[in-house]
A = this chain, B = another copy of it.
């Protein structure tokens, strides 16, 4: 019955890394990235400063690792891979993403407005684009004509979704998640269907 063995090596390592990630993210909620020192991170994680260097070479490295975890847990909620309703499976993802982000509003507001944007944006937009492109590909007859190449349509969709997401977060989520999801569905998925010519029928 004793599981959770070998989940990723030494238990001490896992605990230490988790503490460091948590420390930097919690510091990020309080003040800008540049002003945060490795000393403070170690301090807040209740670890010796030398221990930090046992795991990461720089603040940057730790941040990327922490963001990666963050992204993974966002995606984990994510794409339940719709059955036979191709494009419309995306709508579920939109709803789930908004719900997830709303739960972690404070953190995402910081991540998106400051340091993390470059990384998170690339990561999220890439992910959404890849995800929606494969859905698109599956839902289209092979040689069907589209307004533009599929990867660009996917990017178009991902970009507008992300922009609306950022707007929503940075404006302190003026609408409830469900309502915003509706708007995004209308605009993005509508635009998507238009992009692949489904609206011409």
A172 within 8 A of B: no
A121–B117 CB distance below 8 A: yes
Question: Within 8 Å CB of A160, what residues of B?
Answer: 155-157, 159-160, 163, 191
Expressed in whole angstroms, the Cα–Cα distance for A116 and B58 within the complex equals 20
Q: Which residues of B contact A187 (CB under 8 A)?
A: 147-148, 152-153, 156, 195
Q: Is A162 an interface residue (CB 8 A)?
A: yes
Is the interface on chain A under 10, 10 to 19, 20 to 34, or 35 or more residues?
35 or more
Partner of A163, one of B118, B125, B167, B194: B125
Contact with B along A140-161 (1 / 0, CB 8 A): 0000000111001101111111
Q: A58–B32 Cα gap in the complex (Å)? A: 14
Contact status B183-A152, CB under 8 Å: yes
Is A60's beta carbon under 8 Å from chain B? yes
- Given A155-B163, A156-B163, A167-B152, A190-B147 contact (CB < 8 Å): yes
0/1 string, A171-195, CB within 8 A of B gives 1: 0000000000001001110110011
| Minimum C-beta distance from A22 to chain B (A) | 23
Most chain-B Cβ atoms within 10 A of its Cβ — which of A122, A187, A188?
A187
In the complex, chain B residues whose CB is within 8 Å of the CB of A157: 160
A137 adjacent to chain B (CB < 8 Å): no
- A195 surroundings in chain B (CB, below 8 A): 187, 190-191
Could you tell me if A188 and B118 are in contact, using CB atoms closer than 8 angstroms? no
- 9 further A-B contacts with Cβ under 8 Å, apart from A148-B187, A156-B164, are A113-B122, A121-B121, A149-B183, A152-B187, A159-B159, A160-B160, A160-B163, A190-B195, A194-B194
